[in-house]
Structure 1
């Protein structure tokens, strides 16, 4: 494994991550011209076993030939328990040039799997003289992975982000769902029973809230990005918007898109609004005035703000500035 302290995660915006099948190189140019902050070239679920080698060659060519702009480019390799993983890493690092930013490891169940990828990447990078170490992105997709997420997140200083993949995760739990990343109409509670025999209201819940919150806490504890996974019904604009707003409100950095039509709704949801930005700037201005007057806290629009308010405002303005810089 690599030595030393964890480096800061890539600071580029990562609101929308467009997943592109590695076996469809005709889509690479379209992805590179899209408004997605990141592109995931997928060698795993979207590629049949007999087509893995051909898709890997397409990725290598695409990394060398396509102008990916300033977006993050990530390669989703095959899982560590498959016969494809080692060749995915070796061939891509040896032949793909320096444009690749990160390797995504799917279905991670233990820190040992991260250590294997880290060690192998380190050796190949040293052999080819790669100057910029690859980051690692960890995809949590099983009950075992979520149970060990703290240890997994700390397994390598290369790790930059934790992702939650709800399709395989639902299967791992035995959840009764029909759409990857969607909700269940059965998940909720009834209002309390009353004596007047009125119909009891049903209050739906978020079936994935615990898993999302658990992964988010593990990521933030180590300064990592937290990424929500895909929503498979790409025709449902209202659905992807609702799910992205939920994740953004929780504190996630971004969400997967499996179709270009999902990029704009995701980007909007993960971009602070003008009202939020104005409020954050007003907080910073008010606190600066309080500092000059020797006060530790101040009221703004009838609400108390203090050092915690500053931290929130600074984080939001930093996000706005990074997004604005990318979109210039």
Structure 2
């Protein structure tokens, strides 16, 4: 009897992105909050059986002016203590900031084996990506991918070229800087609430970034929701980002935002159950076309339902035994 073929092998192009990332990226810029974030990550990893959010330690907005070097050293010491199951990243300064080179030399140089990626803000063009990559290489951190923040009209114009660079793993949208870059042409409500999902220029930017990422197999990451005390606004924004704008990842700036993001980006129990049954039937047919509940399915639809199962695993959803087996070490 032949060995069953794993969906990743059977379904060429089964993953829209070249890498699967946790759906939530949680930012902390103050040492006490960084420590609490890392502890929360460990607790929720134990709860869900998988690391369901990244922790990004912030050296850009988090560092006091004039204290950039000390802040970076603190981040290095803290990240080095994270456990083997932790997913920790660092946001450095922009490539044209005086502290950028020192950030990269210290952080990438000391933490290349501890970090999951480096986040570079205010990327305007491929030239900025190339400069950041050179800094990685100079720090002997060739293993680290780059995540980049697109925060201006020019950067949105260059999003497809930025996404095409092989070092870039994910693009995030910097909403507030993007609105500010328009010199008052976009009203303040474009930075929050319903405005960020209705103003034409903001909507266009979000769609351009999502489309650029999907075109090149990268992960589009949605911007922050500043109303972190408004659970309804948070949940609504996360659902819209996931279901209407094509984002597969989202920023959190407060611990209370993490679970709503996980919920919004998770498939429902019915979706998981249906996907599991279709994938089981497909595997029995050796991935040939099948009829299931009166509908034709083939590898095109199998790819979609495999992605549902991967998203369920990323967000800690319970999976039926047959589907869970795909995510054990033995299954690949």
Query: Do the aligned partners of 1:181 and 1:229 also contact (CA within 8 Å) in 2?
Result: no
User: Residues of 2 paired with 1:252 and 1:186: CA distance?
Assistant: 13
Distance 1:269 1:71, change over 3 A: farther
- 1:287-298 maps to which residues of 2 (within 5 A)? 287=282, 291=285, 296=289, 298=291
Distance 1:63 1:285, change over 3 A: closer
1:136 maps to which residue? 146
User: Residues of 2 paired with 1:183 and 1:54: CA distance?
Assistant: 39
Shift of residue 167 of structure 1? 0.8
Query: Do the aligned partners of 2:288 and 2:298 also contact (CA within 8 Å) in 1?
Result: no
1:190 maps to which residue? none
2:180 maps to which residue? 171
Distance 1:307 1:206, change over 3 A: farther
With normalisation by structure 1, the TM-score equals 0.79
Residues 1:278 and 2:289 are matched in the alignment: no
For structure 2, the 5+ residue unaligned runs are: 1-16, 45-51, 317-323, 328-332
Residues 1:319 and 2:330 are matched in the alignment: no
In structure 2, the residue corresponding to 1:83 is in which secondary structure? coil
1:159 maps to which residue? 168
Query: Do the aligned partners of 1:179 and 1:233 also contact (CA within 8 Å) in 2?
Result: no
Deviations 1:60-85 (A, max 9, x none): 111223x2552421111111121111
User: Residues of 2 paired with 1:271 and 1:217: CA distance?
Assistant: 21
User: Residues of 1 paired with 2:115 and 2:264: CA distance?
Assistant: 27
1:242 maps to which residue? 236
Distance 1:80 1:167, change over 3 A: same
1:83 maps to which residue? 98
Report the aligned-residue RMSD.
2.7
Larger radius of gyration: 1
Query: Do the aligned partners of 1:255 and 1:266 also contact (CA within 8 Å) in 2?
Result: yes
User: Residues of 2 paired with 1:208 and 1:133: CA distance?
Assistant: 34
- 1:27-66 maps to which residues of 2 (within 5 A)? 27-34=33-40, 35=44, 37-65=53-81
1:112 maps to which residue? 127
Distance 1:264 1:116, change over 3 A: same
In structure 2, the residue corresponding to 1:168 is in which secondary structure? helix
Shift of residue 27 of structure 1? 1.9
User: Residues of 2 paired with 1:186 and 1:276: CA distance?
Assistant: 26
Residues 1:146 and 2:156 are matched in the alignment: yes
Choose the corresponding residue for 1:310, options 294, 302, 312.
302
Shift of residue 181 of structure 1? 4.4
User: Residues of 2 paired with 1:295 and 1:87: CA distance?
Assistant: 54
User: Residues of 2 paired with 1:226 and 1:288: CA distance?
Assistant: 30
Deviations 1:251-305 (A, max 9, x none): 422111100011111111112111111121233345456x47x9745352x5554
In structure 2, the residue corresponding to 1:134 is in which secondary structure? coil
User: Residues of 1 paired with 2:233 and 2:200: CA distance?
Assistant: 13
2:47 maps to which residue? none
Query: Do the aligned partners of 1:225 and 1:253 also contact (CA within 8 Å) in 2?
Result: yes
For structure 1, the 5+ residue unaligned runs are: 1-7, 188-204
With normalisation by structure 2, the TM-score equals 0.78
Shift of residue 48 of structure 1? 3.1
